[in-house]
Chain A
Amino acid sequence: MLSFYGVYKSYSSPYFALSNINFKVEKGEFLFITGPSGAGKTTIIKLITREELPSKGKILFEGKDISAIPRGKLYSYRRKLGIIFQDFRLIPYLTVFDNVALPLILRGSGKQEIYNRVTTALKELEIIHKARELPPSLSGGEQQRVAIARAIAGNPDLLLADEPTGNLDPLLSRKIMRILQRINMKGTTVIIATHDQSIIDEFGKKVIFLSYGKIKRIKT
């Protein structure tokens, strides 16, 4: 589904944030990308969302080079992704329902479809009772669940999470990880960038270890 072939990324030459990154993610796979701060985890996520372009190498999604997608067509690629940010990035003046509905509205989904998908996602994340509230009135854990609901509401092919438990306590972090595992079990491919080794150890999935922008090892 997703392949990195000899990917390099440099923000300021001659230093590379990523060097010679090669890996493949199959459909339905669950992958952790880990490493210390500055190892390049977020850069990989940004390359997948095409917020950044690789300096060298190719990234293929469903067999197509994502660097070759013209800017005007990027939206259709990004609509296949669900993204969870460490800082949640919810729109504070929209209700929980509207925040979760946002990707569906952007796709032009019908009113009934939006209602069904949003309520399903909110029920799954056990936050349906907060649907009419505004994000600032929610706790950190609740906000992260809203962010996950937004990411899965559009039924993405690939779910990306950048430090999804970074701002949460250990108990809540495990709860969130179990939710992501549940989503993966339904067939969604999941990639999680995290530096939380305890979570990686607990869930025992495929892991890419990064160090100074290079793949140190891949544990399958």
Chain B
Amino acid sequence: MRRTIFGLKLFVNGKFGKPSEFIFPIFIMGFSVFFLCWFILIRNNVGYIVNKIEKGLSARVFLQDEITEERAEEILKRLKTLHEIEYVELVSKEKAKEEFAHYFPEIAEALGNDNPFPISIYIRLKKTTNSSENLLKQLNEIPGVKEVVYQRELFNSFKKLRVSIDYLGSFLSIIFFIASAVIIGNLILIHIAARKEEIYLLYILGARDDFIFTPFIIFSIFFSLIGATIGILFFKLSILIAEYLKGKFLPTNQLENENLFVILGLSILVGLIATIISTGRYSYEI
């Protein structure tokens, strides 16, 4: 412990670069964290919308044209037994025509006595139901069912959007964090180079790598944390500004504290890896 404290004392009193050297690594780490926060927020919101669509989804189960009323009743009873389904209603051919006539009276009048509408069952899923899409696909396989119609396009487009956001956001986040790591690593290398003679002397006097490089690791963690904290503060500020200008614009507009701690941890990890690579590279040159 005394050794570590002395190492820190040596480090703190040693040569430091210009303050401007520290601004860019802090800025890039801050920007990476800011971007990551927004990415997670948008991802959470799209996920929230997908979830909302999925839960409480309603659908129409169209039965085959030649189906008998008895078979239709059997299917209705079977659907009622499914615990994921909240409400079930058999829509007869006549009722279907009535519904149609309500919305499109002129076309319904033109149909005259013809009734091309099939018997169907209207269902509404419980709000707690997960993986509704799978359930609806299973309904398709019940003998006598012709087709299950639901808001597939909306549902699928949001799902695709979520996947796209995942890929793009993850890719850009990785790029930004790699850039942060490279820049922090370079800052560390500059500081090691500035203290080359001192480090050389310490090695000759019998210092171990951990004595020499622990202060650099603490230094990079400190800078990563400052950058990450600034990034998070700017993220919070940007939410406040956006809400002030546009009102509440996202269904869920806050990141959980756990998310923020993970982001802080990630930034520390990035700084740590960058420093270990830089110091490791350097230590073998001596």
The residue on A at minimum CB distance from B6 is A105
B2:A111 contact, CB within 8 angstroms: yes
B105 close to A (CB within 8 Å): no
Chain B residues with Cβ below 8 Å from A81 are 206
B6 near A107 with CB under 8 A, answer no
**A contact residues around B2 at 8 Å (CB):** 105, 108, 111
Which of B13, B14, B201, B284 makes the CB contact (< 8 A) with A89? B201
Residues from chain B with a CB closer than 8 A to the CB of A51 are 204
Task: Identify the stretch in A14-22, A70-78, A196-204, A208-216 within 8 Å (CB) of chain B at 4 or more residues.
Answer: A70-78
Main secondary structure of the interface of A (DSSP, over half): helix
Interface bits A75-92 vs B (CB < 8 Å: 1, else 0): 110110101000001010
CB–CB A106/B14 < 8 A: no
Assess whether A93 is interfacial by the CB under 8 Å rule.
yes
Whole-angstrom distance from the CB of B115 to the nearest CB of chain A? 88
- Whether B201 and A75, one on each chain, are in contact in the complex, defined by CB atoms closer than 8 angstroms, is no
Give the docked Cα–Cα distance between A81 and B204 (Å): 9
CB neighbours (8 Å) of B197 from chain A are: 89
Question: Quick one: CB contact mask for B190-230 with A, threshold 8 Å, 1 for yes?
Answer: 00000001100111111111010000000000000000000
Interchain CB contact under 8 A, B206 and A93: no
Given contacts A105-B2, A111-B2, contact A83 B205 (CB under 8 A): yes
The A-contacting residues of B in range 159-202, CB under 8 angstroms, are 197-198, 201-202
**How many A residues, CB 8 Å from partner?**
24
Q: Which residues of B contact A168 (CB under 8 A)?
A: none
Shortest CB distance B71–A (Å) = 80
Given A75-B208, A78-B206: A106 touches B3 (CB 8 Å cut-off): yes
Closest chain-A Cβ to B97's Cβ sits at a distance in Å of: 87
A79 touches B206 (CB 8 A): yes
Pairwise interchain contact B205-A78, C-beta atoms closer than 8 A: yes
Q: Which residues of B contact A74 (CB under 8 A)?
A: 203
Contact of A93 among B13, B203, B205, B207 (CB under 8 A): B13
List of B residues within 8 angstroms of A78 by Cβ? 203-206
Given contacts A105-B2, A106-B3, A111-B2, contact A93 B14 (CB under 8 A): yes
Query: Is A1 part of the contact surface with B, judged by Cβ < 8 Å?
Result: no
User: Interface digits, B1-13 against A, CB 8 Å rule (1 contact, 0 not)?
Assistant: 0110010001001
Give the docked Cα–Cα distance between A51 and B10 (Å).
23
Q: Is A120 an interface residue (CB 8 A)?
A: no
Answer whether A94 and B13 are a contact pair too, CB < 8 Å, given A89-B197, A106-B3, A108-B3. yes
Partner of B202, one of A71, A106, A150: A106
Complex Cα gap A167–B159 (Å) = 77
Q: Can you name the residue of chain B whose Cβ is closest to the Cβ of A108?
A: B3
Closest B residue to A79 by beta carbon equals B206
- Contact between chains at A103 and B205 (CB < 8 Å): yes
Min CB–CB distance A97 → chain B (angstroms): 12
- The answer to whether A71 and B284 touch (CB under 8 A), given A105-B3, A106-B211, is yes
For residue A76, which residues in chain B have a CB less than 8 angstroms away from its CB? Answer: 206
**Do residues B6 and A75 form an inter-chain contact, with CB atoms below 8 A?**
no
CB nearest neighbor in B for A156: B206
Question: Is the beta-carbon distance between B206 and A94 smaller than 8 angstroms?
Answer: no
> Given A105-B3, A111-B2, does the pair A91, B10 have CB atoms closer than 8 Å?
yes
Contact A106 B13 (CB under 8 A): no
A-B contact pairs, 16 of them (CB 8 A): A51-B204, A71-B284, A75-B206, A76-B206, A78-B203, A78-B205, A91-B201, A94-B13, A98-B6, A102-B205, A103-B205, A106-B207, A107-B206, A108-B2, A108-B3, A150-B205
On A, residues with C-beta under 8 Å from B are: 49, 51, 71-72, 74-76, 78-79, 81, 83, 89, 91, 93-94, 98, 102-103, 105-108, 111, 150
